[in-house]
Amino acid sequence: RGAAKAAGVLSTDPTVARKYLALGALFVAVGVDTTLLVRAANDLRAAFKDAAGVSQPSVPDK
Each residue's pLDDT tens digit, 8-39? 899 989 999 999 999 988 889 988 889 889 99
Q: Is residue 2 part of a domain?
A: no
Q: Is residue 54 part of a domain?
A: no
Cα dist from 5 to 14, 26, 49, 50, 57, whole Å: 23, 10, 47, 50, 50
Q: Structurally, how many domains does the chain consist of?
A: 1
Each residue's pLDDT tens digit, 41-61? 999 999 888 776 656 666 777
Note whether 8 and 27 are within 8 A (CB): yes
Q: Is residue 13 part of a domain?
A: yes
pLDDT at site 22: 94
Q: Is residue 24 part of a domain?
A: yes
pLDDT at site 1: 64
Q: Is residue 57 part of a domain?
A: no
